[in-house]
Structures are given as structure tokens and as C-alpha cells.
Chain A
Amino acid sequence: MKREDGLLTRRFNKLLIANRGEIAMRILRACHELGIKTVAVFSDADRMAPHVRYAHEAYHIGPSPARESYLVVEKILDVAKKSGAEAIHPGYGFLAERAHFAQACVDNGIVFVGPPARAIHVMGDKQEARQTVRAAGVPIVPGTEPGLNDEEMIAAAAQMGFPVLVKAVAGGGGKGMRPVHRAEDLPDAIAAARREAMAAFGDDVVYLEKMITEARHIEIQLLADSHGNVIYLGERECSLQRRHQKLIEEAPSFVVDADLRRRMGEVAVAAARAVNYVNAGTIEFLLDKDKNFYFLEMNTRLQVEHPVTELVTGIDIVQEMLRIARGRKLRFSQEDVKIKGWAIECRINAEDPYNNYLPSTGVITTSRLPSGPGVRVDTGVFPGYEITPYYDSMISKLICYGETRGEAVLRMRRALEEYRIMGVKTNIPFHQHMVESHRFLTGQFDTSFVETRFSMDDSIGETHELEAAILATLAAHRQGQQASQIVARGARDTSNWKYLSRWERLRR
């Protein structure tokens, strides 16, 4: 079936994954479970990436920078034609929310596993999105029109009252977004937001929005089929962020009761219906301390944090996306969706929490994943994998499930301890501090918590300086002994290599 607004649904048996990393693996697994053949694409940097090794077919599409490979529409479509892929799943990031890409797929007779191009376009333009959902009765945060010049914005901010947020019209993921608390900081913030938006999106149009303080970021996961059915899969709590990058997500939320869940869910469904939405999508809301909620934006794609919803609903969101794209009806009604238990996700990033969260690049030398009951790890890295500046710094998503929130938190603490990853600095210590913090344990946090009141200074549990000192000394001692025996060559009748391996065997 082909629709006017750029939606094509049809049965398909071979799918191209226009992405990389953990999300490419996630999609690939769903495809293989449904018996769909997979086609991977890869840049120079990703020849040995797991999505290449696990897919049925893989095609090289260019140099490491994404704009020369994963972001080039023509290259992706070429591979689709060459390989005979009948569908494309864009994952998140890259081409996932580019309406022209969705349209190009459909124009080439390829199923785009996502919403109609028109819905991506409307929801991708923040202003048009606000106007559209407001007309559908969805509450929105007060703000200015876009396209005002700096002076007009400064005047508007004075009327609105501080704090305000400077936001890029084309923005996303916190890029081109700046909170401003004092009038004198506004001109600099506008300049920085314009600069960042220009660099990231090639568009420097910004606008202002009233900043809701002590707000939580709560989002509603939706599934919509091409037959007009739309359901919500409950909420995700995503308030723990730093510079608008989510760090920990959970489902359900500490502060959302059944009544609020129903009300937010129904508003989210109305917002999706306003753009004739199809497939998986997420409505992001701000929830203020009086439990008023405001539409922030719609993410017209699969989200990084989708696993927490999968664990508490038992619904495989990626499989459902594939079914919807094949033109099938939803298998669930709203009444079938039941929230059971609690799930928490920690994003493990290559960054140093002890040094202002600076990104860390390098080669992963050791990667031993935690496992056991209630633990899921979605990752695309492996020993030998290099964290480069070409792509984002996420190493993996560590997701834990429990019957209760307490059980999920204890599991997370255990799993973080078990995780052995070496070669780059990671934010595992950040997560360890967080799961020990009183405010996290009692669910008392908002979107500003990580940046304003959270500290890495408080020591957590026991430290292991003595053990570290002993281990390093023993390692140095062994290395020194081996080295000194290797130097004494000639006195031995055999090669140093043989000698070394004998020596190591003796010491097992």
C-alpha cells in the first residue's frame, strides 16, 4: 500500500540496515528472529564491526566520516538496489529523521521502516510541530516564533521572564540548545546556539522557549499501524541527563501513577494522530512539579532507550516496527498493554566522569560484559574496537530488570561492578555514584540534577587502593623478571621466545 504522505507498506523478506553499532545489531537480531535477510553497510572504520559480521550481506559505502558514508542517501539506495533489499530500517541518528530520505525510499519502491515522510517533516520542524499538536489539543510550553533577530528575541525574553531556553529549529539531542538564567547571558547563548546549529544542521534559526524548572523529562512510547490503530506503551523516565544527553532511563516513572499515565498516553496518541503517524514513535513531555505536562517534541524513530519499555511491557518494539512496515495490524489493543516490573538503562559512554566528562578515544582492549538474571547489554564494541571521533561515544547500553525498582537498582549495581572494560575511560563510575545516591534511590530528581547537585566527590562504598597497588606491583614484578631473563641471551641454548613461554607455563 502506498499513501499520499509518503508511506509504503508491503511484505518484504530482505532488509537493509542503514546504521551501525549497537542499534544495527538490535535491528539485525529482530530481523533474523522473523526470518528476514539482512544487508549491512559499513564505512572504512567498521569493516570488523559486529553488524557487518553478523549480517547476511555487507557492503562498503565509503570513508569513516558519516557524511561520506552513513549519511549519503544515494550510496544507501544503491546498495539497496544492488542487494535486492526491499526495505530499509534507519535505526536512530544518521538518516532516521530525514524526511527526504524516507521519501526517496518510497519513490524507489523500498519500504521505509518508520513513519510517513510527511510526519517526519512536520514533527522535525519544531515550530510546525508545536502548531500542529496545539491544534489537536496538546499542551505546549510557551515560547517565541522562529526567525526573530537577536534584538527581538532579547526583548521577548524580557517579557517571558527568565530562565529561558534557546533552541535551534532544526535541533535535536541537545545540540543548538542553551539554557539562560540571566538577561546579560542571552546574547552569548544565542550566538553559541546559532553556531552549534549551523555546524550540526546547516541551519542557524533559533527560538526561545520558557524554561520549566524542576521539570522531569517523561516520554510516551507509541505504536501505530497503517490501519489507524494507535496505542501507548507507557512512559519512560529520562530526567537524568547531562547537557541534554540522556544518561539513565527507566520505565515506569517514580512519579507517574495509573491516572497520569492514561492522561499522558491519550494526549500522546492525539499528537500522533494529528500527523497520521504510523510505526514506532515517542512523544517527549516535560512534567512540572505540579504534574502539569507539556509537549516538547516527537521523535519519529526508534529510540536509544526503547529496551526499558520492552522489558516492562514484554513487547519487542523492533519486531513490531517490522510487522507494521509489512502492513500488518497491531497485535495488541490498549487494554493488552500491561506494565510489569521495573527496568533501568545506563548508557555506558567513553568519557571521563572525573574530568568534566571529556570524551575518551582509543582502542578497547578488554570487554567482558556483565550477565546473569535480569541483565541485558546492547553493544556494538569488542576488544580491538577503536572509539573514534567519527561516531558518538556510546559503548553500550546496560539494562537491568527487576520485579520492583529496588530490585532493578540492586541488579544494576551488581552489573556495573561486573563490567570489565578497558582501553578508554568510561562513565561507569558515574553510574556507580548515581545508583548509590540518596536522591536516585528515592526517585527525587529532575532534569537539572546531574549538572547542578550531583557530585563525583562523595566516595562510594569501599575503595580498592591497596588491592590496586598490590596487583600493579605484581604485574610490574613479573614483567621485570621476564625482561631480565630475556636479556641474558646466549647463556641459554634456546630462543628467548621458547624460554618465555616455558617460564609462563611454569608459573601457571
Chain B
Amino acid sequence: MKYYTSVNNQEYEIEIHHERELVVNGERYEIDFQKLPDAGLASLLLRNRSVEAVIEERDGFWEVLIHGQLYTVQVQDERAYRLAQARGTAVADGAGDVHAPMPGIIIAVSVKVGDHVKQGDKVAILESMKMENELRAPRDGVVTHVNVHPGSSVEKNAVIVVIESQS
């Protein structure tokens, strides 16, 4: 089976021949992949290089924890990959949404609809866990929706502000 896998803006074409061998971007690797009885724990011997990882599927992505670093990996099989190519954009937009990372209360909103913002600009302050947390713009663009006002209480993952890029 052939897969198209991307992580941190790097793409890999991975072909799995059988359990002990795969080909990554044309290069052949001998592997030994074992899952531990503990949920999520896996051991990989990659040309005898030993890597232990925690692997979990979350919201359609694979989260892989190796040596303290968390990698978010997208894996598509050939069919999903071709479909995505045909649709043009592989990932649905939503990259301009500012989400509440946790439940809390909005203390201040520093943008309004029509404002031009730069990536990293402060858009709102969310109070949660007794701390004021600054929420920042994920990209440059124009504010198209502001769904909260000071005093709003928000659930986790609620969309607070939408920023559309102007390309």
C-alpha cells in the first residue's frame, strides 16, 4: 500500500511492502514495528535504530510523541490523496479561526470586523485557570467575524474570531 504522509511541511511517499520492510521516497528501510500493551505506546526499529513513541489518532491526524517532541502527522492513502488533489486545497480552510483553547470568560476583544491584522497580533483576552491568556491572530488578514464580546463565556474550541487572508 502507498501512503502520502506529511509532517512539519515535509512530505513523504511511503510504500509498505510487508511488516518488515517499507520504502520512503524511494529508499528501502528494514523495520520492526511493535505495539506495547499500553495504549498508544509503540516501538520501532528502523534499520536497528530504536525509537519508542506514543501514537494517537486525534481529529483525523496522528499525534506522535518522540523524545518529548510532539509531531502532528497527516496520513493519506492513495485514494484520499487523489481526492484531495482533485479538490485543489488538501486541507479545508479554517486556518484563520481563533479558537478558545479552553473554556473561560472573554475579558477583552481588541479587534472588530474589517480590521487588518498581522499574524501574532493580540485579538482577545481569555480568562481561564485564573490567568489572563492572550489569544493571537494565526495569520495576516482581515477580521470577518467576531463572535464574542467582553463577558462572553466560551466553551473549549469555540471560534472566537475569524480572520480571512486576502490572497
Contact = CB atoms under 8 A, between A and B. Distances in A.
Interface in B115-142: 127-136
B62 A480 contact: no
A416 interface: yes
Nearest to A504: B35
Contacts of B127: 199
Contacts of B57: 475-476, 479
B22 A470 contact: yes
A463 B64 contact: no
A175 B44 contact: no
Interface stretch (A282-290, A358-366, A494-502): A358-366
Contacts of B70: 425, 429
A472 B55 contact: yes
A360 B53 CA distance: 21
Interface string A254-294: 00000000000000000000000000000000000000000
B107 to A, nearest CB: 7
A469 B41 contact: no
Contacts of B133: 356, 358-359
Contacts, number: 165
Contact of A468 (B33, B73, B104, B136): B73
A477 B1 contact: yes
- Size class of the B contact interface (CB-based, 8 Å): 35 or more
B27 to A, nearest CB: 10
Nearest to B107: A195
A187 interface: no
Contacts of B8: 463, 465
A432 interface: yes
B7 to A, nearest CB: 5
A13 interface: no
A419 interface: yes
B10 A366 contact: no
B39 A383 contact: yes
B95 interface: no
A477 B3 contact: yes
Nearest to B70: A425
Contact of B16 (A352, A474, A508): A474
Given A467-B66, A470-B46, 17 more contacts: A196-B132, A199-B130, A243-B131, A365-B39, A389-B102, A417-B68, A420-B65, A428-B68, A429-B68, A463-B8, A469-B10, A471-B51, A472-B71, A473-B12, A473-B14, A473-B75, A477-B1
The 8 closest A-B CB pairs, nearest first, are: A472-B62, A468-B71, A472-B73, A476-B75, A468-B64, A358-B101, A464-B66, A428-B68
11 contacts: A200-B130, A358-B135, A366-B38, A417-B67, A422-B54, A467-B64, A470-B14, A471-B42, A471-B51, A474-B44, A476-B3
